């Protein structure tokens, strides 16, 4: 894969407003320090890749960010709102602005594609009251080029198609931010590449800001405007793929082997 040259460069992106700002986030469980002064900013329209070893605290960070886990200390701002001060209902409304692509697609096996896509719409009724659900489902499926799969059960679809449907489900809320958790894991290299291209197409079309958690170096190379390495409980290194992959720090190099 070639490095994507179409992306806006990092300098112009970092002049925009951050849609997520995390400052000095600390979280421990008993004696185990998971996050120690972790900092991160996701800028509008940016594809930010977060890499970290298994167990390094990526999920803990995400859970703190969307209000599912309380940090010990630190500041978290999402779309200009201090999430640590939001009431349950306000947090729920804010979550409607965030699309999630969970590890391994996480579709509901007993529901059709249509029902899977309608699920987040039912949960966020307020945002979509009076809007034709069928049209939203159709549009979301068109966005991932799978218009004819409404009546299918997830088990009848290939792994790559399931990942596309999961992406359509994340998109149906028309989110400002998308969180991708290991979007290419478990896919063969060709299907993984198709998913990466689709993520780029969607980013271009909807101007979403994306946080992509991945171990996939190819994915990071193609999609990232900027990267953060989560190591030693903090944002150990930050920079473009080019900068980090040519780093002389052996701990940084280890991510690119
Ligand atoms: N609710 C919890 N109670 C106690 N320890 C927890 C809890 N949640 C996470 N941890 C611990 O925090 C550490 C970081 O976990 P986390 O799930 O964030 O890792 P990760 O980077 O997302 O890993 P992976 O890439 O494997 O998904 C782990 O040691 C985990 O056991």
DSSP conformational letter for 165:
H
Tokens of 211: 């946080």
Which atom of ligand 1 is nearest to 181's Cα?
A: 27
Distance CA 207, CA 230 (A): 26
Q: Using an 8 Å Cβ cutoff, are 192 and 218 in contact? A: yes
Average per-residue pLDDT in the chain? 89
User: For ligand 1, what atom is nearest to the CA of residue 30?
Assistant: 4
Closest C-alpha residue for ligand 1 atom 25: 54
Tens digits of residue pLDDT in 169-226: 988 988 999 999 999 988 999 999 999 999 999 988 899 999 999 999 999 999 999 9
Number of domains, the chain: 2
Question: Do 152 and 117 contact (CB within 8 A), yes or no?
Answer: no
Of 155, 174, 193, which closes a domain? 174
Task: Specify the pLDDT at position 1.
Answer: 37
Residue 247 scores a pLDDT above 70: yes
Residue nearest to atom 6 of ligand 1 (CA): 29
How is the beta sheet containing 81-82 ordered, strand by strand?
Answer: 32-43, 18-29, 73-78, 81-82
**22 and 80, same domain (yes or no):** yes
CA 105 / ligand 1 centre spacing (Å) = 20
Do residue 180 and residue 237 come from a single domain?
yes
What is the Å distance from ligand 1's center to 190 Cα?
30
Instruction: Indicate the SS3 state at residue 120.
Output: helix
Under the banding of pLDDT at 50, 70 and 90, the label for residue 12 is low
Expressed in angstroms and rounded, the spacing between residue 112 Cα and the centre of ligand 1 is 32
Instruction: Note down the domain range covering 146.
Output: 110-174
For the entire predicted model, the pTM comes to 0.88
Q: Tokens 């793929």 identify what position?
A: 241
Q: pLDDT by residue (tens digit) across 36-89?
A: 999 999 999 999 999 999 999 999 999 999 888 999 999 999 999 999 999 988
* Euclidean distance between CA atoms 27 and 111, whole angstroms: 37
Ligand 1: which of 27, 29, 102 to mutate, judged by most atoms within 8 Å of the beta carbon? 29
The pLDDT value recorded for residue 103 is 78
pLDDT for position 8: 41
Q: What is the DSSP letter of 30?
A: T
191 and 90 co-located in one domain: yes
Retrieve residue 218's tokens: 């190819």
Q: What percent of the chain has pLDDT over 90?
A: 68
Among 194, 203, 183, which Cα is nearest to 46's? 203
């Amino acid at each position: 894969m070639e490095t994507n040259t179409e992306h806006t460069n990092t300098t112009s992106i970092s002049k925009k407003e951050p849609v997520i700002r995390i400052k000095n986030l600390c979280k421990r469980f008993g004696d185990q320090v998971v996050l120690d002064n972790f900092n991160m900013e996701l800028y509008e329209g940016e594809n930010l890749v977060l890499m970290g070893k298994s167990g390094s605290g990526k999920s803990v960070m995400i859970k703190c960010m969307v209000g599912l886990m309380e940090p010990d200390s630190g500041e978290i701002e999402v779309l200009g709102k201090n999430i640590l001060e939001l009431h349950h209902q306000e947090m729920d409304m804010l979550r409607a602005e965030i699309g999630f692509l969970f590890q391994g697609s996480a579709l509901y096996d007993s529901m059709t594609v249509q029902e899977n896509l309608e699920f987040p719409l039912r949960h966020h009724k307020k945002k979509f009251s009076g809007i034709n659900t069928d049209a939203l489902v159709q549009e979301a499926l068109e966005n991932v080029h799978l218009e004819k799969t409404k009546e299918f059960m997830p088990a009848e679809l290939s792994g790559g198609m399931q990942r596309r449907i999961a992406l359509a489900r994340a998109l149906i809320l028309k989110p400002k931010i998308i969180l991708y958790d290991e979007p290419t894991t478990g896919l063969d290299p060709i299907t993984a590449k198709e998913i990466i291209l689709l993520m780029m197409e969607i980013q271009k079309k909807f101007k979403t800001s994306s946080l992509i958690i991945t171990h996939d170096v190819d994915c990071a190379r193609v999609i990232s405007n900027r990267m953060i390495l989560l190591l030693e409980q903090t944002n150990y290194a930050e920079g473009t793929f080019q900068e980090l992959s040519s780093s002389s720090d052996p701990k940084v190099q280890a991510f690119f082997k």
